[in-house]
């Protein structure tokens, strides 16, 4: 009985050892023969094998953990995905341009397919919103598409472009406004209260000269205001108007310069019979009084021959 019991105990112990050994074998990592595997590898793969440390045990004659190899590969798949796309050839522009990976990166089929949120344009120096440049937007999106910019990054690039453009336009507007203020101050300082009269007469001379060369005066209206935006230009055309005479500017003269004493006398007589002119001439407080006095003085000099 005791022998049977001992035999049973030995047999049971053997089964337990076998089961324990089986569990140990299941937990043990699968191995491969390093020498057999390493000998089949190309030089490039041998370098990876060494760098990753897969062959450390094998160098010493031990087994290599094949799990380490597969774990590394699984890690790569997590990073790059299972949809593998070969890298484009950088030395082949046509192949690079048609690379299928661009679409995976989010490059749309057409420039119009980019979705951007347009910037709200701020007010310029004149207090009005800066006009949105749709032409610039179109050029930008076309260039971005040609450069294969992904849709996920297009908004950031667009925002930077518009910010720089707004800064440029705002700066130019402020500079222009400052120059305009300085010019207007210089004109007012030169002509004083009679600035409007001098400017109006200069415009008349400008339009008259335009008519002599068959240029439509209506087409010059905007340009007249821009070109007469300086003291020198106003003085020049004001002088031309004075030399032409009001009759000529209004279409009643012969179109020549009125420097003769007879012409000056006729102009003086006409002005003295002009009720509105004489009212200004006699009123020392009128803003155009000084200009009217200067005009009569010049006519008197022409009449006397002293000019």
| Average pLDDT, integer, range 266-276 | 82
* Residues ≥6 apart with Cβ < 8 Å to 236: 202
Q: Which of 39, 96, 101 is nearest to 64 (CA)?
A: 39
Higher-pLDDT residue of 121 and 211 is 121
Helix (H/G/I), strand (E/B), else coil: 134: helix
Q: Does residue 231 carry a pLDDT above 90?
A: no
pLDDT over 60 at 44, yes or no:
yes
**Which of the two residues, 190 and 292, has the higher pLDDT score?**
292
pLDDT over 80 (residue 198): no
Burial tier of 202 (Cβ tally within 10 Å: 0-12, 13-18, 19+)? buried
- Given this model, what pLDDT does residue 238 score? 75
**Among 23-27, 46-50, 212-216, the least confident range:** 23-27
Q: What percent of the chain has pLDDT over 70?
A: 67
- Given a contact cutoff of 8 angstroms between Cβ atoms, the answer to whether 62 and 34 are in contact is yes
Question: What pLDDT shows up at residue 224?
Answer: 59
The Cα 146–Cα 108 span in angstroms is: 11
Place of tokens 């009128």: 286
Instruction: Give which of 171, 168, 174, 144 is closest to 156, Cα–Cα.
Output: 144
CA 84 to chain centre: 38
Contact 1, 7 (CB under 8 A): no
Q: At 32, is the secondary structure helix, strand, or coil?
A: strand
Worst-scoring range by mean pLDDT, 129-143, 200-214, 244-258? Answer: 244-258
292: pLDDT confidence band, cut at 50, 70 and 90? confident
Instruction: Name the nearest CA neighbour of 65 among 78, 53, 77, 47.
Output: 53
CA distance 16 to 164: 79
Of 32-36, 130-134, 142-146, 168-172, give the lowest mean pLDDT range. 32-36
Token pair recorded at residue 131: 């006009």
Pick from 33-37, 86-90, 148-152, 278-282: least confident: 33-37
Q: Which has the closest alpha carbon to 250: 222, 274, 225?
A: 274
Average pLDDT, the chain: 74
CA distance 134 to 185: 37
Q: Looking at residue 6, what is its pLDDT?
A: 47
What is the structure's pLDDT at 248?
60
CA–CA gap between residue 233 and residue 195 (Å, rounded): 13
Does the model's pTM come out above 0.85? no
pLDDT at position 83: 60
**Short-list 189, 191, 209, 207, CA closest to 199:** 191
Q: How confident is the model at residue 82 (pLDDT cuts 50, 70, 90)?
A: low
Q: Which tens digits make up the pLDDT trace of 173-192?
A: 677 777 777 877 887 787 77
Rounded to an integer, the average pLDDT of 236-249 is: 70
Q: What pLDDT is attached to residue 2? A: 44
**Residue 71 pLDDT:** 77
When mean pLDDT is compared across 71-80, 113-122, 145-154, the lowest value belongs to: 71-80
The pLDDT tens digits of the residues spanning 133-146 come to 899 999 999 999 99
SS3 call for 31 = strand
């Amino acid at each position: 009985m005791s022998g049977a019991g001992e035999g049973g105990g030995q047999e049971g112990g053997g089964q337990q050892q076998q089961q324990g050994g089986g569990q140990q074998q299941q937990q043990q990592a699968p191995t491969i023969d390093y020498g057999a595997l390493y000998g089949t590898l190309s030089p490039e793969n041998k370098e990876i094998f060494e760098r990753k440390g897969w062959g450390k045990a094998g160098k010493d004659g031990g087994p290599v953990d094949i799990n380490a190899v597969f774990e590394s590969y699984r890690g790569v798949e997590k990073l790059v995905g299972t949809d593998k796309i070969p890298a484009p050839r950088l030395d082949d522009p046509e192949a690079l341009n048609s690379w299928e990976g661009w679409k995976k990166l989010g490059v749309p089929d057409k420039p119009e397919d980019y979705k951007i949120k347009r910037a709200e344009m701020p007010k310029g120096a004149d207090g009005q919103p800066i006009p949105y440049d749709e032409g610039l937007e179109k050029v930008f999106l076309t260039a971005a598409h040609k450069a294969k910019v992904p849709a996920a990054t297009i908004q950031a690039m667009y925002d930077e472009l518009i910010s720089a453009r707004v800064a440029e336009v705002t700066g130019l507007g402020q500079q222009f406004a400052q120059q305009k203020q300085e010019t207007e101050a210089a004109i007012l300082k030169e002509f004083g209260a009679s600035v409007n009269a001098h400017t109006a007469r200069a415009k008349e001379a400008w339009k008259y000269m335009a008519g002599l060369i068959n240029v439509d005066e209506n087409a010059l209206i905007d340009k007249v205001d821009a070109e007469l935006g300086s003291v020198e230009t106003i003085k020049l055309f004001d002088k031309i108007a004075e030399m032409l005479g009001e009759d000529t500017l209004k279409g009643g003269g012969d179109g020549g310069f009125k420097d003769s004493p007879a012409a000056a006398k006729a102009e003086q007589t006409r002005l003295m019979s002009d009720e509105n002119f004489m009212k200004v001439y006699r009123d020392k407080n009128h803003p155009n009084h000084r200009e009217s006095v200067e005009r009569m003085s010049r006519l008197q000099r022409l009449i006397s021959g002293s000019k």
